[in-house]
Amino acid sequence: MYLSLLLLQFTTVLALSGVAVGQNLTVDADWRKPTTSLSQSSRISIAQNAINALVPQLDSTTGEFNGIGYWQSGNAYSAMALLDQVTHSTTNKAVVVGNLKKVFGLRKNFDKFGFNDDAMWWATAAYYAYRAYGDTTLLADAVATWNAVTPYVMTASQAQSGKSPVKNFPLAGSCDGFTMAGGVFWRPTTDDKSINSITTGLYVTLSAYLAEVTGDAKYTNAAILSANWIKNHNINSGHIVLDSESGADCSRSSASWIFTYNSGKFIEGLAILYDHTKDPQWNQLMLDIVAAAVKNKSWQGTNGIITEGGSTSKNDDGVGFKAVFIRGLLQAYRKRAGDNASLAKLLRSYIDVQYNALLDLASAGNDYSAKWVGPAPASFNSWGQLAALDVLVAAVGVN
């Protein structure tokens, strides 16, 4: 993501992913309003009205939304498709399907700026839309994008040889004693060395979804290899997913680079991977990360309300980060809550904290602020609306 490009200053830190920490799935007593009494029909209407308020910002020539970035526009379609999926409706089908196909036609394999994560945000939106509406063209678009990104995944043989046919520098085949196989390069260029958690987490998730729907072992194996990369390289001792590592010399982004979406997207991928493989290590890792992430004070107050990405004056990537985080928790709830009552209560409560904050503190009619602790927005802005959509959809899905 562009934030990483602007901030990248590698420092050497050790990600102690193997340290065991007992998970705590209890709801924090200090969280603000962790329940909602609104009816399902009311929650659906609130979510759809927020979508309807964003749609006029759609640029019909590009399929993108005014006021937010390319990757964020893809995530807006994800929220729309997920609302239709959880409500078994087709309210947003025409907008979602038509524009995803348009963008795929305009941008080969959804790549506009030369970022593998950008392409996979859109490919994942296409997959969500396929699941919501059954349009197999969208599934084919997701597969095509997966095929385009896969050459930028370090293989076991490349890690062993220290060479990649798509990179012009010697690879670091192992770091901190673990193979670098499974790491996904951020950019599809010959010289970019960065492997990061969001690109790799997106690849884990998309691979797991494709494995689930096709049964093809190549997707399962790809998801497992890349999940192991994050597990072994980019999770700190507190079970929070870190940001970046160099595929050339093992140098790392600062340990202080803690962003919601890195954990959120990996949580989603692990939930799908465990559901597909039944390998308990993935469920355990997901539970550990969830328990840590929803109580991580670096991106929220003691009241539980997320503070990351709260700019009210201009769009920033952090606004989209927290939306992705909440979506990851929703997808974990949908896959795993049925067999874990404590997890279900924790996820529902955390999502409802954000939901009630939006409705009580950060809304003006159908318009929402990016600053979830308030105040309400003075006027509509696309980035605040984008960030709200996933919370409003999640509140439908978990209650």
Is 396 a residue whose pLDDT tops 60? yes
Distances (CA, A) of 52 to 70, 194, 248, 300, 385: 19, 38, 46, 28, 10
Is 180 a residue whose pLDDT tops 70? yes
User: How many whole angstroms separate alpha carbon 2 and alpha carbon 271?
Assistant: 27
Q: Are residues 380 and 324 in the same domain?
A: yes
Mean pLDDT, the chain, as a whole number? 94
Is 12 a residue whose pLDDT tops 70? no
Q: Are residues 336 and 237 in the same domain?
A: no
The arithmetic mean of pLDDT across residues 276-297, rounded, is: 98
Q: Are residues 329 and 398 in the same domain?
A: yes
Q: Are residues 283 and 316 in the same domain?
A: no
- Residue 293's pLDDT band (cuts 50, 70, 90): very high
Residues in a beta bridge with 300? 306
Residue 172 lies in a domain: yes
Nearest to 317 by CA among 104, 79, 71: 71
Residue 314 lies in a domain: yes
The pLDDT assigned to 55 comes to 98
Q: Are residues 284 and 388 in the same domain?
A: no
Q: Are residues 277 and 165 in the same domain?
A: yes
Distances (CA, A) of 15 to 156, 227, 253, 271, 364: 21, 15, 11, 22, 42
Q: Are residues 175 and 288 in the same domain?
A: yes
User: How many whole angstroms separate alpha carbon 129 and alpha carbon 82?
Assistant: 8
CA 99, 383, 195, 249 torsion: positive or negative? positive
The pLDDT assigned to 298 comes to 96
Determine the distance from the C-alpha atom of residue 224 to the mean position of all C-alpha atoms in its chain, rounded to a whole number. 18
Is 244 a residue whose pLDDT tops 80? yes
DSSP label at residue 372: T
User: How many whole angstroms separate alpha carbon 98 and alpha carbon 123?
Assistant: 14
Q: Are residues 14 and 161 in the same domain?
A: yes
**Count of domains observed in the chain:** 2
Nearest to 252 by CA among 318, 182, 309, 172: 172
Residue 127 lies in a domain: no
At 341-363, the pLDDT tens digits run 999 999 999 999 999 999 999 99
Q: Are residues 52 and 172 in the same domain?
A: no
The arithmetic mean of pLDDT across residues 237-250, rounded, is: 98
Distances (CA, A) of 172 to 193, 242, 261, 264: 10, 19, 26, 27
Q: Are residues 280 and 246 in the same domain?
A: yes
The pLDDT assigned to 23 comes to 78
User: How many whole angstroms separate alpha carbon 58 and alpha carbon 66?
Assistant: 6
Please list the alpha-helical segments (H only) found in 35-115.
40-54, 70-87, 93-106
Give percent of the chain above pLDDT 70: 94
At 95-147, the pLDDT tens digits run 999 999 999 999 999 999 999 999 999 999 999 999 999 999 999 999 999 99
User: Among 239, 269, 293, which residue terminates a domain?
Assistant: 293
Beta strands in the chain, from DSSP E residues, in sequence order: 58-59, 64-65, 174-175, 178-179, 194-196, 244-246, 363-364, 367-368
User: Among 293, 322, 353, which residue terminates a domain?
Assistant: 293
Residue 101 lies in a domain: no
Q: Which residue has the tokens 């909602």?
A: 36
Is 7 a residue whose pLDDT tops 80? no
Q: Are residues 301 and 248 in the same domain?
A: no
Compute the residue count for the chain. Answer: 399
- Residue 45's pLDDT band (cuts 50, 70, 90): very high
User: Among 275, 293, 311, which residue terminates a domain?
Assistant: 293
Peptide bond preceding 375 in cis form (omega within 30 of 0): yes
Q: Are residues 182 and 312 in the same domain?
A: no
The pLDDT assigned to 22 comes to 55
User: How many whole angstroms separate alpha carbon 355 and alpha carbon 198?
Assistant: 25
Is 2 a residue whose pLDDT tops 90? no
Residue 280 lies in a domain: yes
Output the domain CATH number for residue 18.
1.50.10.20
Is 86 a residue whose pLDDT tops 60? yes
Residues in a beta bridge with 175? 178
Distances (CA, A) of 366 to 9, 114, 199, 200, 238: 40, 35, 32, 35, 37
At 141 the three-state DSSP class reads helix
Residue 233 lies in a domain: yes
Is 8 a residue whose pLDDT tops 50? no
State which residues form the domain around 202: 1-29+153-293
Q: Tell me which of 13-27, 87-101, 140-154, 296-310 is least confident.
A: 13-27
